[in-house]
Chains A and B, each alone.
Chain A
């Protein structure tokens, strides 16, 4: 039979125009001094990358990594037990309960984040409640804590669901065998359940960490501050400061970091079949 690979050519063309060329353009911009008015006078430079090494930008970078890392850890600590509970429910019940975890994701995520402003604000629901019971009001909005909360809130389903889907496929007889051989509950968890659930944990970590490190919406709405996270920095450079070259340089740095991170996690992802994955 003829190999009709030609029917994938429209997509190949599409990828070249809308995936590869844009990335190459961003790379090109990041290496220029930003004056693109005359094609003949383009100056190539590494200044944009050097500029990123200034303490003010490195601080933003550090804060992004810290907040994304923290939110990933908290999502894992909160999400793993939930995935365990979920996987031990009777099938009928766990279908409905897992649907309830997906449901909020189908509401516009901006709206849900906005709703937290109503809860946390100076005159918000929580502070009003504190007032009525005679406690002092708290400064809950426009700080790192609020951003962290927003990240955990938005991304925790992405941690629970992959772990859950690995745990329900777990071979029950392995756990029983472990008990039969005299292992305690804790030991069974550490030696059997947790190692076997690692693929789910890894994909959960990626699915939380990546959007968390690149978000600018959550920090914009809940965090206040001008340059709070690396995502905000990129957004500012493109839309407010109009320094597309510096913005491109930060985008390239971020892309490289994420790809390195993916390369590390891809090693553990045994679910992927050959031919997929960047490595």
Chain B
């Protein structure tokens, strides 16, 4: 019994540690007073001001636009690459996979400054395009790593059988291979999207002063004190992710019960 209590208390303490800052952000999003230190009464005004705050709204727009475009492009290039890599000879496969691991293993900051150096040498002005290229670059390796295991599980005679039955290679790919590796493709796309949304370091170096995503905006605000509108935004974001997760969890529980 004592052991059970200790376990419960330990879990609770860790959750308090993890959620205390989030709780603080949520509480302060309803704070009438602008300063972080004092409580000025309950208000919803930061929520209405949030939608009028142009700087935050543009950075939110850039964050989402970059995440969507970069994860789609990375998923397409990465899936095709994985299929090609899967069929390569062991030596070329080994070389490509090692290079593929570089952006995964390299510290963010090194990837960031390296890409910034490249854009400087290319004379490409830092802004939306450079940030997008950077995001695609760090996203592709994760898509490749998500799709490859599915290809290994694939029965290699499956597409041959399809072609023996008269399917063109493209038709066989679309109707036989793609549905089989789809779970890997989808999880690759999701990983890419999440990484892109959450990235700060690489964006910070590759966006220059041209554009600003949410992370960059928050970073530049942090020293002077963040506007309570950001707290309102983070509350909305937190609650939408929480609700989404609960829905997914409920659905998977139902499916588990059916089985």
Contacts of B7 in A (CB 8 A): 85
When the two chains form the complex, which single residue of A121, A231, A276 contacts B36, counting CB atoms closer than 8 Å? A121
- Is there contact, CB below 8 Å, between B87 and A4? yes
- Is there contact, CB below 8 Å, between A115 and B25? yes
In the complex, per-residue mask of B161-194: 1 if CB is within 8 Å of any chain A CB, else 0: 0010000010000000000000000000000001
- Is there contact, CB below 8 Å, between A153 and B18? yes
Contacts of A85 in B (CB 8 A): 7, 10-11
- Is there contact, CB below 8 Å, between A82 and B107? no
Interface residues in B56-92 by Cβ distance below 8 A to A read: 77-78, 80-85, 87-88, 90, 92
Min CB distance A39 to B, Å, is: 11
Is B127 positioned at the interface, with any CB of A under 8 Å from its CB? no
- Is there contact, CB below 8 Å, between A18 and B137? yes
Is A238 positioned at the interface, with any CB of B under 8 Å from its CB? yes
- Is there contact, CB below 8 Å, between A11 and B78? yes
Is A20 positioned at the interface, with any CB of B under 8 Å from its CB? yes
Question: Known contacts A104-B22, A251-B109, A251-B113; is A273 also within 8 Å of B77 by CB?
Answer: no
Contacts of B30 in A (CB 8 A): none
- How far is B66's CA from A121's CA once the two chains are assembled, in angstroms? 34
- Is there contact, CB below 8 Å, between A106 and B198? yes
Is A97 positioned at the interface, with any CB of B under 8 Å from its CB? yes
Is A247 positioned at the interface, with any CB of B under 8 Å from its CB? yes
- Interface residues of B, CB < 8 Å — how many? 87
Residue of A with least CB distance to B245: A99
Question: Known contacts A11-B80, A23-B114; is A96 also within 8 Å of B249 by CB?
Answer: yes
- Is there contact, CB below 8 Å, between A82 and B11? yes
- How far is B50's CA from A194's CA once the two chains are assembled, in angstroms? 49
Is B110 positioned at the interface, with any CB of A under 8 Å from its CB? yes
Is B241 positioned at the interface, with any CB of A under 8 Å from its CB? yes
Interface residues in A231-279 by Cβ distance below 8 A to B read: 231, 234-235, 238-239, 244, 247-248, 251, 254-255, 258-259, 262, 273, 275-278
Contacts of B18 in A (CB 8 A): 100-101, 104, 153, 156-157
- Is there contact, CB below 8 Å, between A210 and B245? no
- Is there contact, CB below 8 Å, between B88 and A278? no
Min CB distance B92 to A, Å, is: 8
Is B43 positioned at the interface, with any CB of A under 8 Å from its CB? no
Is A15 positioned at the interface, with any CB of B under 8 Å from its CB? yes
- Is there contact, CB below 8 Å, between A110 and B218? yes
- Is there contact, CB below 8 Å, between A15 and B99? yes
- Is there contact, CB below 8 Å, between B107 and A211? yes
Contacts of A186 in B (CB 8 A): none
- Is there contact, CB below 8 Å, between B107 and A153? no
- How far is B150's CA from A159's CA once the two chains are assembled, in angstroms? 26
- Is there contact, CB below 8 Å, between B110 and A255? yes
Contacts of A211 in B (CB 8 A): 107-108
- Is there contact, CB below 8 Å, between A11 and B107? no
Contacts of B108 in A (CB 8 A): 211, 214
Is A10 positioned at the interface, with any CB of B under 8 Å from its CB? yes
Min CB distance B159 to A, Å, is: 7
- Is there contact, CB below 8 Å, between A119 and B114? no
Min CB distance B182 to A, Å, is: 17
- Is there contact, CB below 8 Å, between B218 and A258? no
In the complex, per-residue mask of B125-145: 1 if CB is within 8 Å of any chain A CB, else 0: 000000001101100100011
Is B1 positioned at the interface, with any CB of A under 8 Å from its CB? no
When the two chains form the complex, which single residue of B14, B83, B110 contacts A214, counting CB atoms closer than 8 Å? B110
Interface residues in A200-230 by Cβ distance below 8 A to B read: 210-211, 213-214, 216-217, 221
Q: A-B pairs with the 5 shortest C-beta distances?
A: A8-B84, A115-B21, A214-B107, A11-B81, A22-B114
| 16 sampled A-B residue pairs with Cβ under 8 A | A4-B84, A5-B84, A5-B92, A22-B114, A25-B121, A81-B10, A92-B253, A107-B241, A110-B222, A111-B25, A114-B226, A210-B105, A211-B107, A221-B223, A251-B110, A254-B109
